[in-house]
Every structure is written in structure tokens, then in C-alpha cells.
Structure 1
Amino acid sequence: MREVASRDEAAFKGLYDRTSAKLFAVVRRIAVSEAAAEEALQEAWVRIWNHADRFDPSVASPMTWMTTIARHAAIDAIRKGPERVSKTAVVIDEALADTLPAPGTATDGMTGAELRRCLEGLEPDRRGMVLLAYSYGYSREELSRRFDKPVATVKTILRRSLIALKECLGGR
């Protein structure tokens, strides 16, 4: 990232070659169409190039930092255009399928099946808020608009939902 921050085009091309497929997968899960995903990915790469000097390795890994930028670019692209994120139920189904561990895998002492079971135990709107917030990076303000609830209510719902998930997972 230091080389990209110093405007080294070869380093940027190498970074692009190594990570563009993963970043495209991130934006494609958010965007409704492939065209919207491509537009969002292009915007993400412009942001990465223009803001590489802001990358702080003490805060996040390069991939985490770029993934966050890509997610935000996808959300911004959707807001600008006529396309929209799929309805909450579809987003939830895709998020459960695409972002959670596979049913047989273990993550921090829990299996993907346990996490899925606990998420599915939440009411659909609550599950949607949790997944949109923690899988897609939606802010509380964005969730407030999407679910037509005050920001304070969204904060409360997220907090209570996370407590319920923790309890369901046995306090893990």
C-alpha cells in the first residue's frame, strides 16, 4: 500500500491483479446487476488509488480496508442510480448463503450451522438489520431510512439482536 500511496502504477496494477476478483465478489453481492457491480468496483479502485495514503496498517489489513471501500462504493452506486439493493428477504437469503461460514465449518468455537440457526431465530426485520449492518456495512442512519425507524430504535434493535445472538450461541 505504501507504493500505491506514492503513486507507483506498477504496484497499483499488481494490487489490482491480486485482489480485483475478491472485490468484485463483494460488490456483486450488494449490487442487483453485474453492470452496477462493475461501476461500483471501478469507483472503488479510484477511491483506493486516491486515498491509499490514508491506509493505516495498525487499523486494518489492506484487504479489509479495500473491502470496506468496495462495499461503500457499491452502496453509493446503488443510491445514485435506479437500481436498488434486493428486498430485505433476498438480501438475508444471499447473506446467509454467501457471508456466513458453511454449515460444517467452525469459526471461533461455533459452527456455521449454529450461527445460521441463531440468525434465523431472529425476526426477519431484526435479522435483516444485523446482516445489513455487519455483512454489508450499512450505517445506523442507512438502516433507519431502509426500515423506516428512528436511528435510536435501530441502535436498540441491533443491540438487543446481538445480545440474543450471543445468548443463542451460549455466550460466545
Structure 2
Amino acid sequence: MRLVCKIVLVSICLATSPRLIAESSIEGVWEISKIVWDVEATTNSEPLPSLMIFTSAHYSFVWMPDETAIEAFETRWQPTDREKLQRFDELVVNTGSYEISNEKIRVTPTIARMPEFMGGLMVYGFEWSGDDLVLTLLEEYTFDGVSAPWVEESSGKIHLTLSRVSD
């Protein structure tokens, strides 16, 4: 009977340890080192600056999806309406809580650049590639459950390869 109990205990530990390792090792500060857009069949191996931070229960994402660096405003601290509109599309910003289950990361933003995304949901598949973490956008919804058109209409996916900056 003791042998059976030991085998069951070891089996439980082995079955749950990869998940515990995945959940704990995601914590830290990351930067996007590569962006792959399946729908456009493009890869950006030198993306613009970014930071993605994961604590034990919260996250913060700030990144620039384009390949051209953002420019300073013509008149410092006084952007024109055109410059404000352009800047809106140049940054992805959201922060909130997250949870991991079944090899998916579900983020729920409390603050976001787009108001309808606050209280919404974004689901990423994730996998490890060596020391890097690869996030694949699977679903994105507003606070009232409306699917983001760029996810709904796209047969391709967006893959973000994250490289650790610090723990």
C-alpha cells in the first residue's frame, strides 16, 4: 500500500510540476525580440522597443507594432491633432491581471489605450522556445464580449517572441 501511495504521489508531482514551472518562470520583465504576422507572411526580427512585465498575478504590456520608430512631435509637448491620431496607432498599451491554464495566458486589462478593451479579455497560446517565450494571439474581446475584428477576420495569427530582460 505504501508503494502505491508513493507512486501516486510521485505521479501527481510529475504531472503538476511543468505547470508550476511554467507559471513561475513567466514572471519577470520581457521584451519582444520578434514579431511574426501569419496573415501578412512577414517577420520583424528587429522590433521597436517594448516591455512586457509579469508578476505573480498581474501584467503590463507596452509595445510598438510598426517597424518605423515613432517621431518626436514637431512642437515639443504640443502635438497637433494629426500627430495625436498617428501616435494612437503606434502604441499598444494595456495592464491588468492574468491567469495561466491549459497552455494559455488569459489577460484581463484594467487599463488600456482603447477604452472598450478595459475589462475585456485577450487569450494567448504560449510555448517555450529555449529561454524565449512565444505568445500567439488567439482571441481578443471588448468588455461586453465583442471580438476584435483583426482577430476575427484574420486566418493568420500574430506571434510575439519574448526574450527575458530580468527576473
Q: Common fold, TM-score beyond 0.5?
A: no
Q: Structure 2 length as normaliser, TM-score?
A: 0.27
Q: Which has more strand, going by share of residues? A: 2
Which is bigger in relative contact order (C-alpha 8 A, separation at least 6)? 2
Greater fraction of residues in helix: 1
Higher alpha-carbon Rg = 2
